[in-house]
């Protein structure tokens, strides 16, 4: 099966470098018309220049594809609207949205300044919501759309010093879980990628020393490209690291029915069963299957 994106239009946020650049280049190589969005700021979100986005768009165009650069901040709803309007003016549709833009402001929770909590959530979570919210009616009206959220193992499992980042990343999974339900009847599929890659955002993190080749960002892109395709699932999390692709999930177990008179002591006595994830369907799944 060959995946191509002829006649498809894609927006990739944070597309000026790292993961986003590789996603944009591959979508362009496979025929998509690509909006390469990037504010061009530093890792902590300060500053800005459209030059990085322009360079990636030029690379796509030089290779025979079609791309334009955009320097909007995903936190600026008016700027995102202008990007959406320009995309529709140019090409009349939006088929793919890869929410990849992000920043880091790592500190332990004790030392983290409150503004750095809001700044990180504003880019990752609110920024992804802004772009998705404005693309959503276009996708539902054309009865087609593929949305990719960029989550993280920091959100799924936690990571020291990343309470703001992890909260934003798990928030994106919550958004995905609702959008998969609301978008299904419109053929709008929303999935998440949880990448582990060596980019400028990970240079200072423990474990990423000498990892440029082993954890190259282009090794994440095949999963993202698949999630942008017509055959993409809906509401799944794919993790990608160094050529290994695997899944994460949010699930519940069968638990134990303690009745309406249950006490805290009953919880304590049955804790092993309550926490045993090897049991079968949980309540929500039983209700859905009934």
Q: Which of 144, 165, 245, 246 is catalytic?
A: 165
C-alpha to C-alpha distance for 129 and 278, rounded to whole angstroms: 34
C-alpha to C-alpha distance for 138 and 95, rounded to whole angstroms: 9
Token pair in block for residue 222: 């095949």
Token pair in block for residue 44: 């902590």
Query: Is 246 an annotated catalytic residue?
Result: no
Q: Are 216 and 173 in contact (CB under 8 A)?
A: no
What does 220-256 look like in DSSP terms, one character per residue? Answer: THHHHHHHTSTT--SS-EEEEETTEEEEE--------
C-alpha to C-alpha distance for 167 and 211, rounded to whole angstroms: 26
Among positive and negative, which fits the CA dihedral 240, 245, 251, 254? negative
Strands (E), 102-243: 145-150, 188-196, 237-241
Query: Which residues are known to be catalytic?
Result: 165
């Amino acid at each position: 099966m060959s995946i191509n994106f002829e006649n498809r239009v894609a927006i990739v946020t944070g597309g000026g470098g790292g993961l986003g650049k590789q996603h944009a280049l591959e979508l362009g190589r496979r025929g998509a018309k690509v909006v390469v969005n990037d504010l061009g700021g530093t890792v902590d979100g300060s500053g800005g220049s459209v030059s990085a986005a322009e360079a990636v768009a030029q690379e796509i165009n030089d290779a025979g594809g079609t791309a334009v650069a955009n320097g909007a901040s995903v936190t600026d709803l008016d700027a995102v609207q202008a990007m959406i309007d320009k995309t529709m003016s140019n090409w009349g549709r939006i088929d793919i949205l890869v929410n990849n833009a992000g920043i880091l402001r790592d500190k332990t929770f004790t030392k983290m300044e409150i503004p750095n909590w809001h700044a990180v959530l504003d880019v990752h979570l609110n920024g992804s919501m802004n772009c998705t919210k404005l693309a959503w009616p276009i996708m539902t009206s054309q009865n087609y759309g593929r949305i990719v959220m960029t989550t993280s193992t920091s959100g799924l499992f936690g990571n020291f010093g990343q309470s703001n980042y992890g909260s934003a990343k798990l928030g994106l999974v919550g958004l995905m879980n609702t959008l998969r339900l609301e978008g299904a009847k419109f053929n709008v599929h929303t999935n998440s990628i949880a990448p582990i890659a060596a980019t400028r955002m990970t240079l200072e993190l423990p474990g990423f020393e000498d990892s440029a080749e082993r954890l190259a960002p282009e090794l994440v892109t095949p999963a993202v490209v698949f999630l942008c395709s017509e055959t993409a699932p809906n509401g799944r999390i794919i993790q990608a690291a160094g050529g290994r692709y695997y899944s994460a999930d949010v699930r519940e177990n069968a638990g134990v029915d303690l009745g309406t008179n249950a006490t805290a002591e009953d919880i304590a006595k049955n804790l092993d069963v309550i926490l045993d994830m090897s049991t079968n369907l949980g309540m929500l799944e039983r209700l859905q299957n009934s």
